């Protein structure tokens, strides 16, 4: 037994590579893999294995793994599922480090047990498994195309990790059409062992890889993935497509891969938090990958648009706003920069509009001026077909400009016109010019490079608990309360228990007393001061207002007496067998901004926190934002700002600013409670009332769910 993990570099650069199930029959996958490995010029030694012996592409086949007499780090397994485990055992005897199991018929069809057994055996013998249910791996540095996809893969600097086999194979062809070279393409299929996080960790260090592109269907170990992605995006761009955005798509993805897709809203928010670029479709993803792999970061935020048409200039300006690109607006600098090139009838206000009547010479000069100006950091160069800007003239001009100046700063080009322009775009693309027919797509590429540029400058949010806040919550007390509820076989806390948790976290809650008789209720109300609220307390009645177990805004003792009887009567009628613990007397709160704060264990990503517009319309408004658990105030503030209702906290129509720091503090405490007490699965405070800064916040209704 040797359970030490092998160095993943051997997966990408194996000294020898066995193919178990190699075949002389051209129709077999075991034949295509050998063909592709030879065709790509694999630098190591190939060991085809087939019990019948013979030759494949003139290479003699070994009849068993036992016969391998030289270093062999990787084995591709292409024998039917019932023979895979034996092949894995043979590999262990030869100290093979990595197994790429192409074979289908494991967890994706319910054979989880066999898959687990194989992985456990492999790991216990110092081996790691890629797959099963994959099309293989291509690694440019080893000149190794060990896939059964197309033989020709263009080497380059984009790495692709794909959970879908068929789509991955299709992407080999698609990247060729798009002139994108690959540093590697790795099919992960059922990801029984090696997953995205393992591969990203390697690819981030791999010098040849400039951009990592992932196609995902489901997330298994989201907590580790977050940790790895946060670090990776500081070093190189990561682009992701995840299927299952819709409910229908998520179901298809789940059954396809045997893994559950996380809720899309949480996935989107977490990718954003990690600095990952999420694309909607393959074209968008590949455009980003290509642009990001070929351009370095800008040195500043000042972008300009140069156009010969006002309309496209405005479209681009809109797209800049949507993509968070700052349009340089220092008029004095712009006037002096373009005084020679922009005609008097044009405009030097960004977008710089040379107008349709300007000559190609002016146009060229204007772009070159932009490239040479130190205060301009990036350029969006647009054009509409005119009598002077034709398919022929623009093609030559743009190619010359880009070749001479394109490396100076990030630039994207977009041109609109007929057949000649479209052909010109195709030609320029093939020459490596970042040019797009769609203005939005051009601008989004520049937007992504700016996102990376800013991400790398901002501090990384850590998920570990900073020592200065660790004692914000009395976790011992929290656990004690939860223990009592669990002893009572409950999977939720009663209102007063949830309030006690808030007290343990020093979160302000409305004054409240549990009364078990009318006399106590009256004296509690008198002590508290009017107005007050009465609420039924019963583990059998969750929705108090539905049961008539709630009475609001009681102004005096008489109203308390009437309401006390009514609340008990209604609740008994609503659920005659309900066990009623008493009636809660609470202060009636003055209005504030209603927010909702939550924390829960997500099946894919572990602990996540939530903020949004609270109150009874949460479901309808759906104005909520998520983050993976974090104690970083800046990141949490970003979550607040993601909500449409955020301006309410800043104060509208002359209102004072609300206690935003107080809201952030409660979110941090919810995170601390969730991570400190593993028996709690969900916390929801709705509403958390946010008052003016000096009045703080108040957690009105708190629901806490426990593990089963
Ligand atoms: N060791 C070595 N070779 C063996 C062994 C063994 N223990 N047992 C059998 N072989 C040989 C066979 O004799 C055969 O060689 P031959 O052509 O000379 O007779 C060869 O290995 C292959 O075995 P076959 O029984 O012919 O199996 P076949 O090639 O038809 O299928 C395969 C094997 C491809 C692994 C199949 O079981 C399978 O899983 N197919 C699906 C693969 C797939 O789609 N994966 C996901 C890809 S991703 C996507 O969706 C595209």
Query: How far is it, in rounded angstroms, from Cα 232 to Cα 252?
Result: 29
What tokens were used for 593? Answer: 């901004």
The span from the CA of 448 to the CA of 464, in Å, is 28
Lowest-confidence region among 79-93, 191-205, 253-267, 438-452: 253-267
| CA gap 332, 623 in Å, rounded | 41
Pair (433, 407) in one structural domain: yes
Evaluate whether residue 198 is within a structural domain.
no
Please tell me whether residues 358 and 400 are part of one structural domain. yes
Q: What is the mean pLDDT of residues 234-246?
A: 86
User: Does the C-beta of 60 come closer than 6 Å to ligand 1?
Assistant: no
Question: Are residue 306 and residue 450 in the same domain, yes or no?
Answer: yes
**Nearest atom (ligand 1) to Cα of 25:** 17
Between 211-215, 361-365, 549-553, 569-573, the lowest mean confidence (pLDDT) is in 361-365
Query: Which residue among 19, 21, 24, 257 is best mutated to probe the pocket of ligand 1, counting the most ligand atoms within 8 A of its Cβ?
Result: 21
Q: Compare 593 and 347 and report the one with higher pLDDT.
A: 593
What gap in Å lies between CA 456 and CA 461, rounded to an integer?
Answer: 12
Cα–Cα dist 112/110, whole Å = 5
- Distance (Å) from CA 142 to ligand 1 centroid: 24
Residues 568 and 645 in one domain: no
Could you report the per-residue pLDDT of 121-134, keeping only the tens digit for each?
Answer: 999 999 999 999 99
What is the structure's pLDDT at 382?
Answer: 95
Beta bridge partners of 612: 596, 624
Write the residue with the smallest CA distance to atom 38 of ligand 1. Answer: 103
- 385 and 427, same domain (yes or no): yes
How far is 63 from 48, CA to CA, in rounded Å? 9
pLDDT above 90 for 135:
yes
Domain boundary, last residue among 525, 553, 587: 587
CA 690, CA 678: separation in Å to the nearest integer?
28
> In this structure, how many other beta carbons lie within 10 angstroms of the beta carbon of residue 38?
16
Q: Are residues 529 and 609 in the same domain?
A: no
The CATH number of the domain holding residue 447 is 3.40.50.261
d(CA 684, CA 600) in angstroms, rounded, equals 8
Query: Which residue's CA is the closest to the ligand 1 atom numbered 12?
Result: 21
CB of 172 closer than 6 angstroms to any ligand 1 atom: no
In a domain, residue 85? The reply is no
Could you tell me which residues are beta bridge partners of residue 185? 138, 160
The answer, yes or no, to whether any atom of ligand 1 lies below 6 A from the CB of 87, is: yes
CATH of the domain at 671: 3.30.470.20
Q: Write the CA distances from 6 to 85, 155, 691, integer angstroms.
A: 20, 26, 56
Query: pLDDT category, 62, cuts 50, 70, 90?
Result: very high
Q: How far is the CA of 564 from the centre of ligand 1 (A)?
A: 76
The answer to whether position 535 is within a domain reads yes
Distance CA 230, CA 630 (A): 12
* Ligand 1 close to Cβ of residue 64 (< 6 A): no
22, 23, 84, 186, best to mutate for ligand 1 pocket (most atoms within 8 Å of CB)? 23
What value does the mean pLDDT take over residues 651-678?
A: 95
Please give the number of the atom of ligand 1 that sits closest to the Cα of 28: 29
Q: Give the atom of ligand 1 at the shortest distance from the alpha carbon of 78.
A: 35
Q: What is the pLDDT of residues 23-48, one digit of tens each?
A: 999 999 999 999 999 999 999 999 99
pLDDT band per the 50, 70, 90 thresholds, residue 258: very low
The answer to whether residue 376 scores a pLDDT higher than 80 is yes
> Smallest Cα–Cα separation from 323: which of 307, 349, 303?
303
Is the pLDDT reported for residue 157 higher than 70? yes
Instruction: Give a yes or no: residue 678 inside a domain.
Output: yes
Q: Is the CB of 700 under 6 A from ligand 1?
A: no
* Any ligand 1 atom below 6 A from CB of 77: no
Tell me the H-state helices in 125-191: 165-177
453 close to ligand 1 (CB < 6 Angstrom): no
Peptide bond into 687 cis (omega under 30): yes
Instruction: Give yes or no: residues 332 and 359 share one domain.
Output: yes
> Do 548 and 639 belong to one domain?
no
Task: Give the closest residue to 704 by CA, choosing from 500, 536, 425.
Answer: 500
Same domain, yes or no: 318 and 372: yes
**Lowest mean pLDDT: which of 73-82, 346-355, 408-417, 527-536?**
346-355
CA-CA distances (angstroms) from residue 612 to 140, 508, 682? 46, 19, 16
Upper half-sphere CA count for residue 86 (Cβ side, 13 Å): 9
The answer as to whether 567 is a domain residue is yes
Locus of tokens 């003792």 = 557
Q: How confident is the model at residue 463 (pLDDT cuts 50, 70, 90)?
A: low
Supply the mean pLDDT for the chain. Answer: 92
Which pLDDT does position 53 carry in this prediction? 95
Compute the average pLDDT of residues 273-295: 95
Give the helix/strand (H/E) hosting 90.
helix 84-93
408 and 446 together in one domain = yes
Residue in this structure with the two tokens 């223990």, named with its chain if needed: 483
Query: Which is the closest atom of ligand 1 to the Cα of 31?
Result: 17
Cβ–Cβ < 8 Å for 128, 201 = no
Q: How far is CA 672 from CA 223, 231, 469, 597, in A?
A: 16, 23, 9, 13
Q: Give 604's pLDDT tier (boundaries 50, 70, 90).
A: confident
Q: Whose CA is nearest to atom 29 of ligand 1?
A: 28
- DSSP H helices in 135-189: 165-177
Ligand 1 centroid distance, CA of 52 (Å)? 14
HEC string of 270-322 equals HHHHHCCEECCCHHHHHHHHHHHHHCCCCCCCCEEEEECCHHHHHHHHHHHHH
8 is a domain residue:
no
Number of domains in the chain: 3
The CATH number given to whatever domain includes residue 553 is 3.30.1490.20
Q: State if residue 490 touches ligand 1 by the CB under 6 angstroms criterion.
A: no
Does some domain include residue 73? no
Domain endpoint, select from 587, 605, 634: 587
209: left (phi over 0), alpha (psi -120 to 50) or beta: beta
Boundary-marking domain end, from 457, 476, 493: 457
Let me know: does 123 contact 99? Beta carbons within 8 Å.
no
Q: Based on the domain organization, do 692 and 662 belong to the same domain?
A: yes
188 lines ligand 1 (CB under 6 A): no
Segment 157-184 shows an average pLDDT of: 94
Closest C-alpha to 184, from 160, 214, 148:
160
For ligand 1, the distance from its centroid to the CA atom of residue 29, given in whole angstroms, is: 7
Q: Which of 367, 361, 363, 352 is nearest to 314 (CA)?
A: 352
136 token code pair? 């293989």
Contact in structure between 439 and 382 (CB atoms under 8 Å):
yes
Answer yes or no: are the C-beta atoms of 168 and 143 closer than 8 Å. no
| Ligand 1 site, residue 295, Cβ cutoff 6 A | no
Whether 44 maps to a domain, the answer reads no
Ligand 1 atom with minimal separation from the 102 CA = 45
Domain that holds residue 442: 296-457
Strands 606-613 and 624-628: antiparallel
Same domain for 563 and 618, yes or no, is no
């Amino acid at each position: 037994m040797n359970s030490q993990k092998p160095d993943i570099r051997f997966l990408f650069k194996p000294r020898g590579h066995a193919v178990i199930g190699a075949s002389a029959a051209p129709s077999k996958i075991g034949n295509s893999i050998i063909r592709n490995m030879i065709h790509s010029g694999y630098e190591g030694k190939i060991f085809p294995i087939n019990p019948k012996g013979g030759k494949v592409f003139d290479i003699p086949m070994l009849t068993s793994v036992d016969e391998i007499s030289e270093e062999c780090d990787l084995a591709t397994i292409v024998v039917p599922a019932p023979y895979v485990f034996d092949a894995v055992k043979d590999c262990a005897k030869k100290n093979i480090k990595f197994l790429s199991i192409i074979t289908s018929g494991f967890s994706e069809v319910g054979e989880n047990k066999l898959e687990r057994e194989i992985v456990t055996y492999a790991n216990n013998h110092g081996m790691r498994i890629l797959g099963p249910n994959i099309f293989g791996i291509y690694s440019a540095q080893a000149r190794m195309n060990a896939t059964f996809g197309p033989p020709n893969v263009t080497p380059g600097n984009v790495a692709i990790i794909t959970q879908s086999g068929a789509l991955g194979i299709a992407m080999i062809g698609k990247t060729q059409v798009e002139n994108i070279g690959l540093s590697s393409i790795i099919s992960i299929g059922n990801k029984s062992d090696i997953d995205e996080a393992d591969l990203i960790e390697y690819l981030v260090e791999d010098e040849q890889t400039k951009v990592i592109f992932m196609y995902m269907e489901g997330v298994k170990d989201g907590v580790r993935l977050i940790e790895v992605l946060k670090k990776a995006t500081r070093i190189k761009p990561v682009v992701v497509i995840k299927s299952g955005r819709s409910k229908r798509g998520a179901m298809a993805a789940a059954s396809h891969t045997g893994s559950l897709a996380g809720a899309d809203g949480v996935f989107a928010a977490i990718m954003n938090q990690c600095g990952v670029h999420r694309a909607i479709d393959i074209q968008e993803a590949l455009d980003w990958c290509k642009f990001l792999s070929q351009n370095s970061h800008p040195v500043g935020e000042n972008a300009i648009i140069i156009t010969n048409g006002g309309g496209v200039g405005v479209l681009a300006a809109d797209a800049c706003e949507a993509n968070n690109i700052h349009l340089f607006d220092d008029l004095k600098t712009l006037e002096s920069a373009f005084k020679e090139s922009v005609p008097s009838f044009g405009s030097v206000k960004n977008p710089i509009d040379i107008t349709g009547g300007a000559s190609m010479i002016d146009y060229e000069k204007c772009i070159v001026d932009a490239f040479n100006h130190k205060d301009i950091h990036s350029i969006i160069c647009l054009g509409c077909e005119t009598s002077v800007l034709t398919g022929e003239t623009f093609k030559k001009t743009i190619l010359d400009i880009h070749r001479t100046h394109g490396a100076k700063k990030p630039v994207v080009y977009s041109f609109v016109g007929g057949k000649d322009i479209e052909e010109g775009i195709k030609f320029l693309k093939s020459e490596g010019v970042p040019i797009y027919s769609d203005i939005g797509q051009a601008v989004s590429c520049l937007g992504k490079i700016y996102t990376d540029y800013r991400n790398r400058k901002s501090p990384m949010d850590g998920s570990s608990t900073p020592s200065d806040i660790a004692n914000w919550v009395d976790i011992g007390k929290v656990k004690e309360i939860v223990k009592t509820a669990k002893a009572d076989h409950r999977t939720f806390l009663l209102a007063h228990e949830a309030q006690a948790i808030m007290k343990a976290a020093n979160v302000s809650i409305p004054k409240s007393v549990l009364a078990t008789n009318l006399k106590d209720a009256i004296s509690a109300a008198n002590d508290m001061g009017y107005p007050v609220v009465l609420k039924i307390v019963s583990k059998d009645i969750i929705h108090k207002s539905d049961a008539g177990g709630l009475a609001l805004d009681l102004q005096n003792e008489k109203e308390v007496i009437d309401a006390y009887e009514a609340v008990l009567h209604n609740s008994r009628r609503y659920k005659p067998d309900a066990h009623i613990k008493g009636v809660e007397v609470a202060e009636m709160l003055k209005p504030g901004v209603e927010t909702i704060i939550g924390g829960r264990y997500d099946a894919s990503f572990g602990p996540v926190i939530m903020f949004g517009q609270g109150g009874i319309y949460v479901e309808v408004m759906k104005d909520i934002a998520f983050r993976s658990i974090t104690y970083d105030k800046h990141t949490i503030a970003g979550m607040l700002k993601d909500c449409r209702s955020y301006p309410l906290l800043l104060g509208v129509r002359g209102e004072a600013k609300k206690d935003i720091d107080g809201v952030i503090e409660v979110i941090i405490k919810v995170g601390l409670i969730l991570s400190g007490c593993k028996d709690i699965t969900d916390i929801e405070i709705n509403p958390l009332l946010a008052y003016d800064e000096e009045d703080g916040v108040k957690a009105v209704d708190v629901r806490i769910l426990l593990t089963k």
